[in-house]
Amino acid sequence: MDFLIEAILSVVRPIGITEPVLQFMLVNAILGISMYLLLRTGMFSLANAGFMAIGAYVSVLLTKELDFALGAALVVAVIVCALIALPIGLPVLRLRDIYLAIATIGFGEVVRIFFLNVDNMILSYLNTFQDAGLRRYELVGGGRGVRNVERLTETWHLIVFLIVIIFLLTRLQRSRFGRAMVAVRQDERVAANMGINVVYVKNMVFVLSAMLAGAAGVFNGHLTRIVTPEMFGFDRAVDILAYAVLGGTSVWAGPIVGGFVLTALPEVLRRFNEYRGVFNGLVLLLVIVYLPGGLINPQGWRKLWASARRRLTGQPAQPEAGGG
Amino acid sequence: MDGILLQQIVNVISLGSIYALFALGYSLVFSVLGVLNLAHSALFMWGAFIGLLVTDRLEMPLWVGLIAAMIVTGLLSVLLELIAFRPLRKRGAARIAQLISSIGAAILLVNIAQLLFIRVYNRVEAAYPRGLVPRQPIIIEELGLRITPARLIVVIAALVVMILLQYLVTRTSLGQQMRAVAFNQRTASLLGINVNYIFLMTFFLAGALGGLAGVLYALITNVVDPFIGQNIALIGLTAIVLGGMGSINGAVLGGFIVAGIQIISIDTVGSSYRDALVFLLLFAILLIRPQGILGQPESTRA
Amino acid sequence: MLVLENVSRHFGGLQALSGVNLRVEPQRVVGLIGPNGAGKTTLINNISGLDHPSSGHILFDGQPIHRRAPHRIARAGVARTYQNIRLFGEATTFENVLIGQHGQGRASMLEAIAFWPSFRREERTLRERARELLAQFDLMDVADVPAANLPYGAQRRLEMARALATNPRLVLLDEPTAGMNPSETRALGEQILRLPQMGLAVLVIEHDMSLIHQVCDEVYVLNFGQIIAHGTPAEVRDDPVVIEAYLGKE
Ligand SMILES: Nc1ncnc2c1ncn2[C@@H]1O[C@H](COP(=O)(O)OP(=O)(O)OP(=O)(O)O)[C@@H](O)[C@H]1O
Ligand SMILES: [Mg+2]
């Protein structure tokens, strides 16, 4: 494994991708997949930054305060995410597109504000009900966050995790459940008339996605060595969305490529680091407008190519096959 | 005691006016086009920024700044329609796609502002010039009330603009056409209304409202940075959800309610939970009554 | 097998269905006709669970279903098509049928992920059956074409195939021949006639009276949400009340 990683790095290092960059690329690929699951089921949820935060905080506390091994912390954190996602999903997933987006943005903010203030909440609880008489109490460190986290995540963890996820994902997609996801996205009501339990499918996907985002949070927390609430705000939610949108949601490779590209590009184009945000916005805008299926979407490219050629050669538009 | 209450009411009214103006922009676009423009908060920030450039760099009076900000953000908003919304609408893309493109546009606008900020000010934060509005509060002894001139300007400007908007929507032919398009695009275009033109005008108005709200907000808080839109984005969303998506009066009502909750919660539970309370409210409303206070329930046609 | 007792549905002030009584017996083809806006689609929506009656009962095999979720009604054996075609446009013809078979799969998610033999066996039989359905509706050649790109007639046929894929005992057809030419309509009529032989009951909404005569054992006539006539196609055609409903009073 080490040899393999070294081989990869020796190829990409010259263009500016060092091991830490590679690690974040892998983490973001996981986040991309978590968003991909949601979009594939037609759920526009921006809650995953929140679940990432939960995963990061829970695991970091476990490894730092209770000396958990990374693997054990990962399992616990992911389960916690699932347990939180379930009661959130049941009511919230009844909402659709815009309303779901707003509600999940709200969820993300509540999570962020919770971690910002949880120390004070515990403090006032201790002082009011237990007469602890404390002046301050520090668990997650409020705005300054949890510091001095051990850097436990290794590149091979991420590679193995990603491969396992891809394996499970491809299997899932070829199953009845995978087909149901696609059906729910395209027409919920018809899907229900076909015997698909839409509520179940949506909640299941929401929970799976939350678990993946949580896992990414675990790895990320043990890479950055510090976990603050500000790392998981609306910007992060949008980044996660961008990975899936850039890569596309027609095949599983899409969000992975999306995560890779958007993480690596600023490093590769280091000279343009200043324009990184402009670039991100532009990518999101251009891809959704001109390449709706994302980068990894053969059909979309073909269409784009056809229309470009039409414009260049001035030929009239070809009639589309079929009607309806 | 009465004085404190009155003081709070004044604060709620001035903050609420800003929220209401901002939410009106969201709501206008939503009611006419049925889409949510998530870049609206970026226009808010641009409004504050243009106001800053005009009054601080160009040393113009405040009213010039207000008008310049409204025109620029109005035009930016039109640009958004042309770049981020119209192509998707033409393609018949899902509503989600329009949300995403507007998020992309928002990121773009915020980052361009950030670059400009650094070019102009060498940092990402700046304040409105000191002498722009008098600092001396107006004190009404009998009531124990202190009102800063800035807040007074905010309330007056917001009131005037809201009345003008109300007039425009209900009494002018443009407003009539906007309502026709909002009610049914196809019928409207059959009636000979230039739907695309109405969309552009709607975006212009919405952008101008957002920009105005931005300047007024900066006038009260004094500080401008490229990220002031982030917080208000969610507050505005809460306001329109609360009032009922697409309802003009609902947006205003929602704006004032959110301001009220924020200001009351600072006194009762402390400022750190101020926003959490707003978002919990947002959550609750979405789950219990997604159509909001003044909205109609969505029909359930098969 | 399907019994509607006094079913009413109003949207605000609009009475879309009022006091509808209707029965469909096993292996019968029952027609439902009526002018535009009579409430025919609303009726099918209520049976299939997309909408729920304001009052009244709907029984399927003696069980009340008017409060059930649509997927449970589907799994109980009620399938439907849609007046304005609603295929999964991005999925292929074949995948559309596979999605229709959803309720028949038994393998759990874990079995699927583990590629368990039971899952593979099940998948094989489902695919086999899906191909049979495609052949039956003459869709084999376009099995791998996205449904949105199919010609109109093929889309209508795929709607039927997908409904049958759910393995129903009752099929609700909402204007299955709308927009088809006479020869396509006749061919589809043949297909509908085969359904009772396969043990299915059919409730079909149609405007084309020749199709009604071709396939229906009995017909209900709906007007302004009320059943105004019921009988054989010939009886209904000559009923003055029905003629008046269609042509309006002089
Ligand atoms: N979800 C809804 N909300 C409000 N009104 C509705 C709804 N669904 C149907 N209606 C109204 O109920 C009446 C019956 O409609 P329905 O679609 O059932 O008629 P139909 O008999 O199928 O007509 P057509 O022959 O045109 O298909 C119409 O006036 C329609 O506008
Ligand atoms: Mg109908």
What does the pLDDT look like over B52-92, one tens digit per residue? 999 988 888 889 999 999 999 999 999 999 999 999 988 88
Statement: residue A141 has pLDDT above 90: no
Q: Which of A282, A298, A251, A283 is nearest to A32 (CA)?
A: A251
pTM for this structure?
A: 0.89
Strands (E), B225-295: none
Chains that touch A (3 or more CB pairs under 8 A): B, C
C89 lines ligand 1 (CB under 6 A): no
- Residue A320's pLDDT band (cuts 50, 70, 90): very low
pLDDT confidence of residue A319 = 45
Domain assignments of chain C as residue spans, ordered by start: 1-77+169-250, 87-152+162-167
Tell whether C178 is within 8 A of chain A (Cβ): no
Q: Which of A153, A146, A151, A141 is nearest to A216 (CA)?
A: A153
Chain C residues in contact with A194 by the CB 8 A cut-off are 71, 74, 99-100, 102-103, 162, 166
Q: What is the pLDDT of residues C160-173, one digit of tens each?
A: 999 999 999 999 99
C83 lines ligand 1 (CB under 6 A): yes
pLDDT confidence of residue A321 = 43
* Number of H-type helices and E-type strands within chain C: 10, 10
- The residue type found at C65 is I
Ligand 2 mean position, distance from CA C82 (Å): 9
pLDDT confidence of residue B135 = 77
Measured between alpha carbons, how far is B258 from B237 in angstroms, rounded to an integer? 10
Statement: residue A87 has pLDDT above 90: yes
Q: Which residue has the higher pLDDT, C102 or B290?
A: C102
Partner-chain contact C41 B302, CB within 8 Å: yes
C166 lines ligand 1 (CB under 6 A): no
Residue of C nearest to B297 (CA): C12
Q: What is the pLDDT of residues B139-152, one digit of tens each?
A: 877 777 778 888 88
- Residue C97's pLDDT band (cuts 50, 70, 90): very high
Measured between alpha carbons, how far is C55 from B250 in angstroms, rounded to an integer? 34
Domain encompassing residue B125: 22-228
- Angle subtended at Cα A238 by Cα A234 and Cα A244, rounded to the nearest 5 degrees: 150
- Residue C248's pLDDT band (cuts 50, 70, 90): low
DSSP state of B296: P
Ligand 1 mean position, distance from CA C41 (Å): 7
Give the mean pLDDT of chain B.
86
Chain C residues in contact with A172 by the CB 8 A cut-off are 109, 112-113
Region B271-279: mean pLDDT is 77
- Kind plus residue range of the DSSP H or E element containing A173: helix A155-173
Chain B residues in contact with A46 by the CB 8 A cut-off are none
Any domain includes B277: no
Instruction: Say which range, B281-290, C17-26, C231-240, has the weakest mean pLDDT.
Output: B281-290
End-to-end CA distance of chain C: 40
Strands (E), A58-131: none
Statement: residue B253 has pLDDT above 70: yes
Region C214-224: mean pLDDT is 93
Chain B residues in contact with A281 by the CB 8 A cut-off are 104-111
**How distant is the Cα of A104 from the closest Cα of chain B, in angstroms?**
9
Q: What is the pLDDT of residues C41-77, one digit of tens each?
A: 999 999 999 999 999 999 999 999 999 999 999 999 9
Instruction: Name which residue sits closest to atom 6 of ligand 1, judged by CA.
Output: C11
Instruction: Name which residue sits closest to atom 16 of ligand 1, judged by CA.
Output: C39
**How distant is the Cα of B247 from the closest Cα of chain C, in angstroms?**
20
B119 lines ligand 1 (CB under 6 A): no
Q: What is the pLDDT of residues A144-196, one digit of tens each?
A: 888 888 888 888 999 999 999 999 999 999 899 999 999 999 999 999 999 99
DSSP character string of A225-258: S-B-GGGGSHHHHHHHHHHHHHH-SSSTHHHHHH
Give the mean pLDDT of chain C.
91
B302 lines ligand 1 (CB under 6 A): no
Q: Does domain C1-77+169-250 match CATH 3.40.50.300?
A: yes
Do residues A33 and A256 lie in contact, with contact meaning Cβ atoms separated by under 8 Å? yes
- Kind plus residue range of the DSSP H or E element containing A37: helix A19-40
Measured between alpha carbons, how far is B108 from B111 in angstroms, rounded to an integer? 5
Q: Which of B25, B14, B72, B56 is nearest to B239 (CA)?
A: B25
- Residue A323's pLDDT band (cuts 50, 70, 90): very low
Region C180-199: mean pLDDT is 91
Instruction: Name which residue sits closest to atom 23 of ligand 1, judged by CA.
Output: C37
Do residues B72 and B46 lie in contact, with contact meaning Cβ atoms separated by under 8 Å? yes
- The residue type found at B174 is L
End-to-end CA distance of chain A: 53
Q: Which of C241, C218, C213 is nearest to C229 (CA)?
A: C241
Where do we find the tokens 């409903």?
C245
C41 lines ligand 1 (CB under 6 A): yes
Any domain includes B141: yes
Q: Please state at what angle helix A2-12 crosses helix A155-173, rounded to 10 degrees.
A: 90
Residues in chain B: 302
Do residues A88 and A50 lie in contact, with contact meaning Cβ atoms separated by under 8 Å? no
Chain A residues in contact with B99 by the CB 8 A cut-off are 44, 97-98, 101
**How distant is the Cα of B301 from the closest Cα of chain C, in angstroms?**
8
Q: Quick one: how far is CA A199 from the chain centroid?
A: 22
Statement: residue B200 has pLDDT above 70: yes
Q: How many CB pairs under 8 A join A and C?
A: 102
Measured between alpha carbons, how far is A321 from B242 in angstroms, rounded to an integer? 46
Residue of C nearest to A204 (CA): C109
**How distant is the Cα of B96 from the closest Cα of chain A, in angstroms?**
6
Partner-chain contact C69 A323, CB within 8 Å: no
Where do we find the tokens 């007469």?
A131
Q: Please state at what angle helix B62-80 crosses helix B95-121, rounded to 10 degrees.
A: 140
Region C103-109: mean pLDDT is 82
Ligand 2 mean position, distance from CA A232 (Å): 48
Ligand 2 mean position, distance from CA C177 (Å): 13
* Pairing mode, strands C14-24 and C2-11: antiparallel
> Alpha helices, DSSP H only, in chain C?
40-48, 70-76, 93-100, 109-113, 117-136, 152-165, 182-197, 209-215, 233-238, 240-247
Q: Which of A82, A106, A80, A84 is nearest to A95 (CA)?
A: A106
Do residues C172 and C79 lie in contact, with contact meaning Cβ atoms separated by under 8 Å? yes
Do residues A249 and A40 lie in contact, with contact meaning Cβ atoms separated by under 8 Å? yes
How many independent structural domains does chain B possess? 1
State the CATH architecture for A2-272.
Orthogonal Bundle (1.10)
Statement: residue A221 has pLDDT above 70: yes
Region A64-87: mean pLDDT is 94
Measured between alpha carbons, how far is B172 from B187 in angstroms, rounded to an integer? 19
Q: Which residue has the higher pLDDT, A102 or A35?
A: A35
Measured between alpha carbons, how far is B267 from B264 in angstroms, rounded to an integer? 5
Statement: residue A262 has pLDDT above 70: yes
B300 lines ligand 1 (CB under 6 A): yes
Residue of C nearest to A196 (CA): C71
